[in-house]
Amino acid sequence: MKNCLYRYCLIGIAILFIGSPKIWPHEHPGFYVEGRYLYDPCGEKVILRGVSNPNIWFERDGLLRYREIEKTGANVVRIVWNTTGTADELDTAVTNCINLGMIPMVELHDATGNWNKLQFCVNYWTREDIADVIIKNEKYLLLNIANECGNYFVTLNAFKTGYESAIMKIREAKIHVPLVIDGTDWGKNINILQSQGPYLIEADPDHNLIFSVHMWWPKMYGFSESNIEKEIKQSVEMDLPLIVGEFSQMHGSCDDDKITPNNAIPYRTIIKQCYLYEIGWIAWSWFGNCNPLWDMTSDGTYDQLYDWGLEVAVTDSYSIQNTSVRPYSITHGSCQPAVVENLVNMIPPSSSILSQNFPNPFNSNTQIHYAVADPAHVTLAIIDMQGNEVKILVNSAISPGSYTIQWDGQNDGGEVVANGTYLYLMTVRQNGDIFKKVKKLILLK
């Protein structure tokens, strides 16, 4: 019975603040970025998990491959495109992706490695017929301005001024979707994103940007496995909205037929670190590369996923299938009446505090700090993502002050619960008033 009561409580709070399922409560027309996270129009946090699909070189409508990619549980497809694509073709490619419950992220490949073609890409996006397609699909669309624009020699100032101009021109065309900006040096340069990203966010009138590093980071280019964790952690600490927009199992030329210690890419480390830090990622690529070692599937079908592609898509603990969540809004076309991510701070800041647990993620014990300014009855409960009570940590009358409680990952029955995301819900009863606050934590054994 108490499980049901908690679920109804969560649903009631959500409905109170979401309102009708058909209302899109945020000021942006679709997806938006706050801090380092991407949110759907209903306020549900979205961690991207998906693959790139080269529509422009094969079936431009994407439908044949989308149907296979959809089986992995991917929540995003990075649609490889170029300026030869017509507005009607683009609309079809995007619509087919949305209809299968996946977020379309469209990118232009024309400027790959060529800084001088950034404006060429901007001109395409702002062309009236193309802009109309983007605006038509703006509720669900992400726009990757230019794939890997620029080589190693692009300066910080050129990057800053070039993308500032690009952002302004795109916004002037009434395009308000999240804009994705790749690093230079064929996408590999994360330092330029960390350096200039904060400036560009402030320069964007919508403050709606995502930065994408392409982790073609093998030993032969001077990278080590430790670079992955170090750079992701640094980006998180600076609150940069970062994704890993491309990676594979190796890097080299179309003729390379072996994976060696020099050209291998530690893709397992990439997807694990992205899970730990809630970073989105998109693998390169589904099928059709000049080198089959970059293909995830041998013939473009789900059934023929193999080697690294099978791991990344299905079998690894941090694979698409094991970590991807499709936002309710794109699968149902409306806000979920009980989206737990939409629970807002209902406790007056001057009265009570619930801090983020630490460490988070955790694998054995985590600490939760809370405080009240006045005498109150406090309940602090662990809740799963379906609204079921897992563990009551606190249920008592307390005096004003600060408190810390630990959770060891066990339920009320003393059993260790499964890996995943949980909520901790604080209920404060003071002088006949009831306030609630909820936060998320991640258990990873």
- Measure the CA–CA gap between 15 and 393, rounded to whole angstroms: 26
**Predicted confidence (pLDDT) at residue 14 exceeds the cutoff of 50:** no
What stretch of H or E contains 143?
A: strand 142-144
Architecture of domain 2-6+339-443: Sandwich (2.60)
| Segment 115-134 mean pLDDT | 98
Which residues lie closer than 8 Å to 88 by C-beta, 6 or more apart? none
Domain extents for the chain?
Answer: 2-6+339-443, 23-332
- Distance (Å, rounded) from C-alpha 168 to C-alpha 182? 17
Any idea which residue has 């209903």 for tokens?
A: 42
The predicted pLDDT at position 56 comes to 97
Count the Cβ atoms, other than its own, within 10 Å of residue 9.
17
Q: 205 preceded by cis ω (within 30°)?
A: no
User: Which range (179-193, 217-231, 391-405) has the least confidence?
Assistant: 391-405
**Quick one: 23-332 is in which CATH superfamily?**
Glycosidases (3.20.20.80)
Q: What is the mean pLDDT of the chain?
A: 89
| pLDDT for 385 | 82
The structure tokens listed for 107 are: 């990118």
pLDDT at 76: 98
The residues, ordered by sequence, that sit 6+ positions from 184 with a Cβ below 8 Å of its Cβ are 115, 148, 149, 150, 151, 152, 154, 159, 192
Q: How far apart are CA 434 and CA 12, in angstroms?
A: 13
Position 387 scores a pLDDT of 80
Residue 27: per-residue pLDDT? 65
pLDDT of residue 188: 98
Joined tokens for residue 357: 């647990």
38 burial type by CB count under 10 A (0-12 exposed, 13-18 middle, 19+ buried): buried
Query: Residue 351's pLDDT is what?
Result: 61
Tell me the pLDDT tens digit for each residue of 361-378: 888 889 898 888 888 899
At 165 the pLDDT is 98
What pLDDT is attached to residue 402?
Answer: 81
278: left (phi over 0), alpha (psi -120 to 50) or beta: left
Top pLDDT among 340 and 139 is at 139
